[in-house]
Structure 1
């Protein structure tokens, strides 16, 4: 049996997504900037996807900029906004539990004269709102907070954060990394006072290498990629038409019967946690997101357990997929106050609509079999 529980890293594409990607590659393969009919038909894919995405967010299609994925969207939101608004100030606020595609651009900005305030989180990974309010200053140009943490599934009070930001300084821009949240929640930027929103296609059963950045109209963002002026100069380069078409189809499908889909995923997660907590010496670090479970297995190195599960056909992650192949301590696990014994014994199980109860039962049975053996051989 096989159980793919690493959907926080990437997801299997919907069959309809595969079909439209192939169609855009084989049949309507024109350049969307070309004036002939092949170009016009290619451009229609881009327009259709932009409208589908805008409708899901209740925003204007012109506020959607297609990117190569979540990392580029976050870089554009942070570096592009900082560059465009440097005269207003050089102070940015974020948190201790952001994804590498946020904190590495922040390190870059820090090296280039910007001041970054990192907000603490509680033991559940939720940002300290009082600390946020105190941190906002007249020269604060941007607040960047992830909606759902990619390692533990902590959900931030985005609506409250937006209200605090705009009340304290209406000129401060609010960026949300929604890469693990979009498709799981209905997100309406105008209601939540979000100015910039990052999304990745391959987290919602769309293709890899495609994403978008919502940029509220009249928000100043300096483009990072210059060239032929595509997407109104915000992101030059020939559009990835097959990827964009696939992304549009994935958005359309993920929000069809959305409540039922999320109830199914939540039930899978709840069943998994209930069963795994019956095992000895385990700790549940999971937040409220419906698709992410973070479990620490005392006395077993996460990498060892990951590969032991892999041999059983079970695929999981030892944190963020973007950093799980590096021997670094998770900043998120440190930020929520986990003791050192758990830093290197934590796995992330992330679920999707294709997962089943049978996969959960199989995985827990394998854990029940493997843990005593691996603990016996753990080096002291």
Structure 2
């Protein structure tokens, strides 16, 4: 099997699964309990919070645990809107955001908030000047992802941070789900970023766990109310084993990030050079300011799901861009925002490399690609 859908989810590291199992068996008390088992769980919980904060260059009290990226995005978008609505009801999110961000913002429209979608360039980067023109006196939130999940474009977070530097009343949220281990922490966690969202299973942790970064002093309404966990901002019994596994996965991912990026860069060069040799293949992912792990392309007149299943028949797994939207059969939202014609956008497939993807796997992928290209000759005419 060759797994090339790592932007959808990653395989947990064996060490991460070991940590999850060990904590589940030995530290199974409720952190809210007063007895010793609860105290043990609390110690593990807070040690993990401290480790994650240190790895990101933040403070422990700025880390809040969630069930993953979708909850984190929903919490920040809705929580900031509800908290700051007395000061304004205008939000700006980019046109290429993950549905967890975009749909949360559009849901707020039904409650009387105003939402603008910041456009992107034809290459897939948020147009900072266009974003600037959308800012109003009643704007309370700007949300832009760090790395686009469909084509791998690294968004201009630094430039947006500079744009918002003299606008302290606007909260700045970054969806960092695809960024961990792909770009340097400081590239997307600037001093101007107020909130950021993370998901464990995107960096070899376990599913159902994530966290948000909330800058000290910034306010947000709770999404979940109840027992008062997470400093009364996210009530529910904490998944201590999952959180311990997340801390382990984050440390391991960041420790080897430089080596992994270098290896993926070589693989991407090989793949991109090969794709460019086919006249009926459109390449949607670029090189400069793109991550090394995502390469998105399309075969002329061949729908993406057809290509995905063709590779699957050879035990090679990739996706039609975003895994969250692939089963719906929709064209990639990012490509449509880039003004790519719908007929071309529906051909898109995404290859997302993993930490252990090697050259032999890439060679096998290219062998099967050649076969599929030949088999679809009549369709491409």
**In structure 2, how many angstroms separate the alpha carbons of the residues matched to 1:92 and 1:166?**
17
Q: Distance in 1 between matches of 2:376 and 2:274?
A: 19
Q: Give the match for residue 175 of structure 1.
A: 173
Distance 1:185 1:56 in 2: 14
Pick one of 339, 342, 358 that aligns with 2:341: 339
Contact in 1 for aligned 2:172/2:195 (Cα 8 Å) = yes
Deviation at 1:56, TM superposition (A): 1.9
Q: Are 1:91 and 2:93 an aligned pair?
A: no
User: Unaligned regions of 5+ residues in structure 2, if any?
Assistant: none
Match for residue 184 of structure 2 among 161, 183, 186: 186
After superposition, give the CA deviation of every residue in 1:113-150 in whole Å (9 maximum; x if it has no partner).
Answer: 11111111111111111111121111110000011110
Structure 1 equivalent of residue 50 of structure 2: 51
Question: RMSD over aligned Cα, in angstroms?
Answer: 1.4
TM-score (norm 1): 0.96
Q: Which residue of structure 1 aligns with residue 4 of structure 2? A: 5
* Preserved CA contact (<8 Å) 2:330 2:346: no
Asked whether the equivalents of residues 175 and 196 of structure 1 are also in contact (C-alpha less than 8 Å), the reply is: yes
Compared CA separation, residues 113 and 256, structure 1 to 2 (3 A)? same
Correspondence 1:296 to 2:298:
yes
SS in 2 for 1:305: helix
Q: Is contact 1:300-1:371 (8 Å) kept?
A: no
By how many angstroms is 1:258 displaced? Answer: 2.5
Q: Secondary structure at the match of 1:290?
A: coil
The whole-number CA distance in structure 2 between the counterparts of 1:48 and 1:186 is: 23
Q: CA deviation at 1:191?
A: 3.3
Moved more, 67-76 or 331-340: 331-340
Match of 1:322 among 297, 309, 324: 324
How many angstroms apart in 1 are the aligned matches of 2:91 and 2:98? 16
SS for the counterpart of 1:102 is: helix
Contact 1:230 1:236 in 2 (8 A): yes
Match of 1:355 among 350, 354, 357: 357
Distance 1:39 1:345 in 2: 52
Q: Deviations over 1:69-128 (max 9, x none)?
A: 000000011000000000010011111111110111011111111111111111111111
The CA deviation at 1:190 is 6.3
Distance in 2, matches of 1:171 and 1:331, equals 30
What is the CA distance between 1:379 and its match in structure 2? 9.3
Which 5+ residue runs of structure 1 have no aligned equivalent? none
2:126–2:155 CA contact under 8 A, matched in 1: yes
